[in-house]
């Protein structure tokens, strides 16, 4: 009996290797995308749960006022507080320390929230990877 030519083994081995590499890449990309989406969602949920809407509005108003001041525009901001509407212009917001301190606090809170959310998403990703490995071992046993 004659041995099969080496090029057939080379071709088949290459097909199997590249198929495995493509599958690994596809699963890794999907898992990474899931973890990134979870990171964004968890960050948003944590920020929403620990920060009031008013504080977020005041922080955005402060950064908006900084931008408007930099380009030389005037604007009046309207804030609702205990059922009343208050109007403040760009200069009032920039010179009132509450807005600056609040904006710095919001940035710090966002950073901490992103860190906690990253850890949560990372652990979930590790859990998925362990699950995929176990499922792969089960499938290998039954072949």
Domain boundaries, the chain: 52-118
Mean pLDDT calculated for residue range 66-77: 95
Question: Which pair of tokens denotes residue 120?
Answer: 């949560």
pTM for the model stands at 0.78
What was the pLDDT predicted at 94? 95
Determine the pLDDT at residue 2. 60
77 within 8 A of 88, measured Cβ to Cβ: yes
């Amino acid at each position: 009996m004659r041995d099969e030519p080496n090029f057939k083994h080379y071709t088949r081995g290459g097909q199997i290797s590249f198929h495995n590499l493509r599958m690994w890449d596809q699963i890794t990309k999907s898992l990474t995308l899931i973890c990134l989406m979870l990171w964004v969602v968890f960050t948003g949920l944590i920020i929403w749960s620990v920060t009031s809407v008013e504080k977020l509005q005041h922080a955005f108003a402060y950064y908006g006022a900084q931008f408007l001041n930099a380009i030389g525009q005037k604007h009046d901001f309207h804030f609702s507080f205990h059922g009343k509407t208050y109007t403040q212009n760009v200069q009032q917001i920039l010179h009132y320390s509450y807005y600056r301190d609040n904006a710095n606090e919001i940035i710090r809170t966002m950073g901490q929230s992103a860190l906690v959310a990253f850890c949560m998403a990372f652990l979930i990703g590790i859990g998925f990877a362990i699950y995929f490995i176990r499922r792969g071992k089960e499938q290998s046993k039954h072949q």
